């Protein structure tokens, strides 16, 4: 993985230019003066700030299934429709948790994908968000979004890097095989359609290269607010075996950034080995 996190530069600059703020004996340490609340800890562990864990990539069959908490509930995404507009993107529905938007931004920055494939367009808000992210952070790339209810996609979801395609993922042959074969790598595949996953993942995986990502949302476990339990979605155990057989590894940098599996994609941030 390419190191694209530069937080250590800030800590090093504090040590060089403001040593009195990171001196552990100082009467007014950095956290108190700068009102940050984490700089003291980081300044004492500068060699570890942003460094990947040695076991960052793990087999899905070796991972726990529980989550510390629900990313949906932690993001405040209830069912009050009056607040739906504040949770949109450029006025369009974008069903991503606040936590996962941060994770996707970081993965796009780290991966620098040439292609983003999205399964499940809804109104087009998430595809538009991905296109804007590519433009802002990479300056290249294409987003191709596939949707069964193609005519529900808004004309407002227009971007020169974004294309929508009609496809019924219950039948993988409705995907444009010629299109997929020509798309440049690295790929970031975002699956929010939850349809025919075993066959779809296997089909797409056959076209992926080492280092490409496949993010499976809302499938491997979900949070029940009523009983307060994490449960695997129906068929997810079999899908996990398929994922393992196809050579995908769970990237814990993203599944566990906010706590164990605190994401809408628990155990679902997968990198092709």
**Residues 221, 66 contacting (CB under 8 angstroms):** yes
The count of domains in the chain is 2
Residues in the chain: 273
How far, in Å, CA of 252 to CA of 250, rounded?
A: 6
Are 222 and 88 in the same domain? yes
Residue 68 lies in a domain: yes
Residue 267 lies in a domain: yes
Chain segment 224-254, per-residue pLDDT in tens? 555 556 667 778 889 999 999 999 999 999 9
Are 149 and 19 in the same domain? no
Q: Residue 209: its pLDDT value, please?
A: 98
Are 82 and 111 in the same domain? yes
**Which residue ranges of the chain lie beneath pLDDT 70?**
1-2, 26-27, 76-80, 222-231
Are 132 and 258 in the same domain? yes
Are 24 and 151 in the same domain? no
Three-class DSSP category at 76: coil
Q: Residue 226: its pLDDT value, please?
A: 55
Are 113 and 26 in the same domain? no
Q: Residue 87: its pLDDT value, please?
A: 79
Q: Residue 250: its pLDDT value, please?
A: 98
Residue 52 lies in a domain: no
Are 32 and 97 in the same domain? no
Q: Residue 230: its pLDDT value, please?
A: 65
Residue 132 lies in a domain: yes
Q: Residue 202: its pLDDT value, please?
A: 96
Among residues 232, 243, 245, the alpha carbon closest in space to that of 270 is found at 243
**Residues 167, 146 contacting (CB under 8 angstroms):** yes
- The whole domain housing 194 covers 57-272
How far, in Å, CA of 31 to CA of 21, rounded?
A: 8
How far, in Å, CA of 171 to CA of 144, rounded?
A: 18
Among residues 224, 205, 225, the alpha carbon closest in space to that of 214 is found at 205
Residue 91 lies in a domain: yes
Are 230 and 128 in the same domain? yes
**Residues 213, 251 contacting (CB under 8 angstroms):** yes
Model-level pTM greater than 0.85? yes
Are 197 and 81 in the same domain? yes
Q: Residue 257: its pLDDT value, please?
A: 95
Residue 263 lies in a domain: yes
């Amino acid at each position: 993985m390419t190191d694209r996190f530069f937080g250590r530069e800030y800590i090093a600059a504090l040590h060089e230019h403001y040593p009195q703020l990171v001196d552990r004996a100082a009467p007014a340490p950095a956290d108190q003066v700068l009102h940050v609340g984490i700089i003291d800890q980081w300044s004492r562990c500068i060699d570890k700030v942003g460094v990947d864990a040695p076991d960052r990539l793990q087999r899905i069959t070796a991972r726990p299934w529980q989550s510390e908490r629900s990313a949906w509930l932690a993001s405040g995404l209830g069912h009050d429709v009056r607040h739906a507009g504040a949770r949109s993107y450029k006025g369009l529905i974008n069903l991503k948790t606040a936590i996962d938007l941060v994770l996707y931004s970081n993965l796009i920055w780290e991966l620098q994908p040439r292609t983003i494939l999205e399964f499940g367009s809804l109104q087009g808000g998430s595809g538009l968000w991905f296109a804007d992210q590519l433009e802002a952070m990479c300056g290249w790339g294409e987003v191709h979004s596939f949707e069964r209810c193609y005519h529900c996609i808004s004309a407002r979801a227009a971007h020169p890097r974004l294309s929508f395609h009609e496809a019924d993922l219950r039948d993988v042959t409705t995907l444009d095989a010629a299109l997929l074969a020509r798309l440049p790598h690295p790929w970031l595949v975002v699956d929010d359609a939850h349809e025919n996953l075993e066959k779809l993942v296997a089909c797409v995986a056959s076209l992926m290269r080492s280092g490409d990502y496949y993010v499976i949302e809302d499938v491997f476990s979900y949070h029940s607010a009523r009983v307060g339990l994490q449960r695997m979605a129906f068929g997810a155990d079999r899908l996990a075996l398929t994922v393992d057989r196809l050579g995908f590894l769970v990237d814990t940098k993203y599944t566990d950034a906010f706590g164990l599996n605190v994401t809408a994609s628990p155990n679902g941030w997968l990198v092709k080995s």
